[in-house]
Structures are given as C-alpha cells and as structure tokens.
Amino acid sequence: MTKLTPEYLAFDPSTRQLRLDPHEAAFFQNPYEAYAFIHRETNAFFWEEFGFWCFGGFDDVNRLLRDRRFGRQNPAGIPDRSRIDQDRTHLSAFDGIEANSMLELEPPVHTRLRTLVNRAFVSRQVERLRPRVEALANELIDRFEPDQVDLLPAFASPLPITIIAEMLGVPVEMGPQLLDWSHQMVAMYMHGRTRETEETANRAARDFSDFLRGYVAERRKTPGDDLLSLLISAQDDGQKLSEDELVSSAILLLNAGHEATVHQTGNAVRSILAQGGDPRRFFTSPEATAATVEECLRFDAPLHMFTRYAYQEIEVAPDILVRPGETIGLLLGMANHDPLAFAEPLAFKSERTDQKNVSFGAGIHFCIGAPLARLELQVSLKTLFDRLPRLYLAQQPRFRDTYHFHGLEKLVAHF
C-alpha cells in the first residue's frame, strides 16, 4: 500500500482500501482534510480499521440511508455491532434497552413504535417551545461568570437537557445525572471500546432504566401534561407501548435530545466565530437564522458515521458486493463536504443555494427530534450572539477523541 498525503493515512487505489486510525489526532481534529483527499480518489472505500465498506458521496449516503435492503436491526438478533460471537451476559441491561429502541429496529415493529412516539412528540407542537428556549438561553447567559466562560457546560449542554427533561416531565435537577448515564451508554458506539466501557455502559443502562420505571409508575397514577404521560396514553389501533418499549423510547429521546445538539451548538459557535466580524450578521431575520443553522449542520456535523446491516446480497457500487449481515458505514460528515454536491464545500456560506445535508439522516430513521434540534439551535445561537456580539475564543478549541460523535472538549470564550 502506497503512503500518500495526508501523512496519517494510506490509500490503495487498486483495492480502494484505506488505512486511517480514527484515533489519530490530526484526523479527528480535522477530518475534512482526509475527506477532501478521499473524495478526489473515490466515494467508496474499505476502511481497514473498521473492517467494512464506507460511503462518503452525498448521493450515495442519501440513497443508502433510504434503501430498505439495509437496516439498523442486526439480522443475528444482537443490537450491538461488535463482539457478536462473544459472551454478552455482562451487557444484559444495555442490550435490554437496545432491543426495544426504535433506532435499532425495523418495520413492522419500528413503524408501530415511531408512530406512537412521534404522535406524542408532535402533539407538543415543538414551535410552542420557542419562548421557553429563548428564556432559558437568556437565563444561562445571565449566569456566566464575568469575562470568561466555557460555553459547553455553561450553555450548550444545560439548554437541550433542560428542555427534553421538561418535555418528558422528569426533574430538571437530574440533568447532570442524565448526562452521565447518556455519555456512558453512547461510549458503546466508539471505535476500540474496552470491557470497562461495556460494564460502565451496562450499569448506566440499568440505573437509567430503574429511574425511569419509577417515574412511569408515578405518571400512570397521576398523568400530567408531559411527554412521558403522553407516551403512556398513546395508542395506535388499540396498541400501546409496553413498559420496556416506553423506557427504551424515553431513554432514546433523552439521549438523542441532547447529545448531538450539545456537539452541534459547540461546533456552530466555533464555525461562526471563525468567520470573523460581527456574528449578528448571520441572524438578521428568521430566514437568515434558519439558513445559518443549516450551514452549521452541513459544515461541521455532530455525527460522522452511521452504520447499516445488509439484509441480502447487494452490489452497492461497481465491484463492491456486500453479503447478508455485513455492515456498511455511511459517512455523514464526508457526504456534507462532497464537491460533487456542494460548491466550495470547505467554505462556510450561510447564503449558499445548494444547501442540504444528511446530518439528521434520511429515510425511516430520520431523526425524530430534528425539528426540536433546529429550533434549539436557531434560538440559542441567535440569543447568544445578540447578547454577546463581541464574544471571542480564549484558546483554540480541540475536538474529543470520539470520531463518530464529533464534538469539542471545551469552548472557552471571552465576552
């Protein structure tokens, strides 16, 4: 295999094999350099470190996310994507949650769960939350210590976890604990996880589940005007969510309702400040604000890889044959920077006419919380820059060594 630039990767054009350690700092700090190189060579390649074919062209990723010959549900019946042949008794609580998560299921079960959850979710009318999000953003800014703040723990993190906790009807003061459980569970999807990671995730899943079962029992006795109560009462053709399905759905909504939004908020602030000048120019109208958020989602997405299982033998691309049960990787961040889909993909252009992205996925697993995430980003970013237009970074922020989940370690700023 011939060594090529960038110096931290190697690519063989004859076999389309890529050698690139996702824990290589030069890569996870700026994956777009590698993506640009790979785009010049191919949009489909075999990533040795992961052991499966990956696709990074916008049209390919968009198409494969919608292709029903692929899905999230493991045909072997195990919801996780590694250690298939090994004992998983130490992951019983984690697997129990995943087994009923609509993110990991396919029709007809997925259809029933999503219909029930979506009905309850949409009934809250996300747009009605706009004043609450704006008030909370202002409250958080009011709490900043003078002159300097780390925007991740002080702003980006508490806003979405507070909103989703209030929506579900669980105590907002549990926010830090919910975040801990979520981070420990999400670590299961990182490359190169350890036995310790697995055991920690299993404990988090068990404790998270026990906590929610207690609240479900309370809400059954005394329903309220909250998402948990609506999930309990939601029906589709007389069918309700089982308690296991209800707990898994609540955990998914809590995890998904903040994890990606926290990363995207930090990434967006970094991207906007990197443009220089008055950041308020990106938020001069509702239309400009919405366009800016869409460009932030495209420019530096919070999730860079999503995987699918093949359900039959498929020639995905010329000379690329995948067999039933094999995994493929869909590179959302790379697709959002495809030069065949975007003019000047490495440039931040909120006014671009080719605005689109796959940051929320596509097809039946399109992010159920996308409307809420968009609203939170639009309101929180506009409020932040309206209140603190002279905000500037105190130091160059660094990304975490978590390739799948592309987010910053901290975001320290002066104002």
Mind listing the pLDDT tens digit for each residue in 272-326?
999 999 999 999 999 999 999 999 999 999 999 999 999 999 999 889 999 999 9
> Dihedrals φ, ψ of 71, to 5°?
-160, 175
Is the per-residue pLDDT at 81 higher than 70?
A: no
The region that residue 122 occupies, defined by phi over 0 for left and psi between -120 and 50 for alpha, beta otherwise, is alpha
Is the per-residue pLDDT at 35 higher than 90?
A: yes
- Report residue 237's pLDDT band, with 50, 70 and 90 as the boundaries: low
Q: For residue range 239-281, what is the model confidence (pLDDT) as tens digits?
A: 788 999 999 999 988 887 788 999 999 999 999 999 999 999 9
Q: Hey, what are 286's tokens? A: 């509702």
Place of tokens 């995943």: 98
The string over 366-401, giving b where at least 16 C-beta atoms fall within 10 Å of a residue's C-beta and e elsewhere, is ebbbbbbbbbbbbbbbbbbbeebeebeeeeebebeb
On the CB side of 353, CA atoms within 13 Å amount to: 0
Q: What is the mean pLDDT of residues 358-378?
A: 94
Would you state the pLDDT for residue 300? 98
Place of tokens 């690329």: 320
Would you state the pLDDT for residue 121? 65
Q: For residue range 102-114, what is the model confidence (pLDDT) as tens digits?
A: 989 999 999 988 9
Domains along the sequence of the chain with CATH: 10-414 (1.10.630.10)
Would you state the pLDDT for residue 84? 45
Is the per-residue pLDDT at 83 higher than 80?
A: no
Q: CA 265 to CA 161: how far, in whole Å? A: 13
Residue 168 burial by Cβ neighbours in a 10 Å radius (0-12, 13-18, 19+): buried
The region that residue 342 occupies, defined by phi over 0 for left and psi between -120 and 50 for alpha, beta otherwise, is beta
Segments in 257-339 forming alpha helices (H)? 259-273, 286-299, 332-335
Q: What is the mean pLDDT of residues 1-23?
A: 87
Would you state the pLDDT for residue 120? 66
236 against 217, higher pLDDT: 217
Q: For residue range 47-56, what is the model confidence (pLDDT) as tens digits?
A: 999 999 999 9
Arithmetic mean of pLDDT over the chain: 92
For residue 46, the cross-strand partners are: 17, 53
3-state secondary structure of 322: strand
Would you state the pLDDT for residue 186? 85
* 125: number of Cβ within 10 Å: 9
Place of tokens 């063989």: 12
Q: Hey, what are 320's tokens? A: 């690329």
Would you state the pLDDT for residue 85? 46
Is the per-residue pLDDT at 34 higher than 50?
A: yes
Q: Is the C-alpha dihedral spanning 394, 396, 397, 400 positive or negative?
A: negative
* 166: number of Cβ within 10 Å: 16
Question: Of 367, 220, 257, which is closest to residue 231 (Cα–Cα)?
Answer: 220
Would you state the pLDDT for residue 33? 97
Would you state the pLDDT for residue 254? 84
Segments in 222-318 forming alpha helices (H)? 227-233, 243-256, 259-273, 286-299
Q: CA 380 to CA 262: how far, in whole Å? A: 11
For residue 399, the cross-strand partners are: 408
Would you state the pLDDT for residue 207? 96
pTM (2 d.p.): 0.92
Would you state the pLDDT for residue 214? 92
Is the per-residue pLDDT at 20 higher than 70?
A: yes
Residues 118, 120, 125, CA angle at the centre, nearest 5°?
A: 90
Q: What is the mean pLDDT of residues 73-94?
A: 70
